[in-house]
Amino acid sequence: MLLDASETLTEQDTRVISQVVDAGRALVIAYNKWDLMDEDRRHYLEREIERELVQVQWAPRVNVSAKTGWHADRLVPALERSLESWDRRIPTGRLNAFLGELVAAHPHPLRGGKQPRILFATQASTRPPRFVVFASGFLEAGYRRFIERRLRETFGFEGSPIEISVRVREKRKR
């Protein structure tokens, strides 16, 4: 997505970015006209990006100038990294070992006196990477975001949205 750095983010810009994320597509955000910005505008743009684009912090940012060609060489590698992460598949054994270590270090908070356990997980698909976590109880949204953030850090899902769904195991009847 190419944005004009010399102007503030518009509602249409954020709407288009949301549509890209909802469609599950890889994303790179390029800010054009970076050479026209002074230090004050860069500071305000950084704050604006943090506030308006909080849902896509995982998307790589490239500052370019189409007029002078400044940093245009950084755009293709960013696109390639995003597409690679969009296609990345994690083996089930490696994923479950990662989740075992993660849950041991940072367990899910108690909920109603019980703590849901993550039984196992698998990657259901790529484009976008979609993971299914099988658990003994409901996993809160904050804990799912925590798992997503750690998946990104560990396996390098830069530039690709990650979908995590939770399947709760039914209690067995006696």
pLDDT tens-place string over residues 121-134: 999 999 999 999 99
- 3-state secondary structure (DSSP) of residue 165: strand
Domain boundaries in the chain? 2-87, 92-168
Fold of 92-168: GMP Synthetase; Chain A, domain 3 (3.30.300)
The pLDDT confidence band at residue 37, using thresholds 50, 70 and 90, is confident
Question: Model pTM?
Answer: 0.88
Which letter does DSSP use for residue 113 in this model? T
SS3 call for 66: coil
Give the SS3 label for residue 30: strand
Question: Hey, which residues does 166 pair with through a beta bridge?
Answer: 133
Distance of alpha carbon 131 from alpha carbon 7, whole angstroms: 37
Predicted confidence (pLDDT) per residue in 50-85, tens digit: 899 998 999 999 999 989 999 999 999 999 999 999
What is the pLDDT averaged over residues 100-105?
95
Within 13 Å of residue 101, how many CA atoms lie on the same side as its CB?
A: 8
d(C-alpha 40, C-alpha 13), whole Å = 22
| Homologous superfamily of domain range 2-87 | P-loop containing nucleotide triphosphate hydrolases (3.40.50.300)
Confidence check: pLDDT of 173 > 80: no
CA distance 59 to 62: 10
65, amino acid identity:
S
Angle (CA) 3-129-86 rounded to 5° is 45
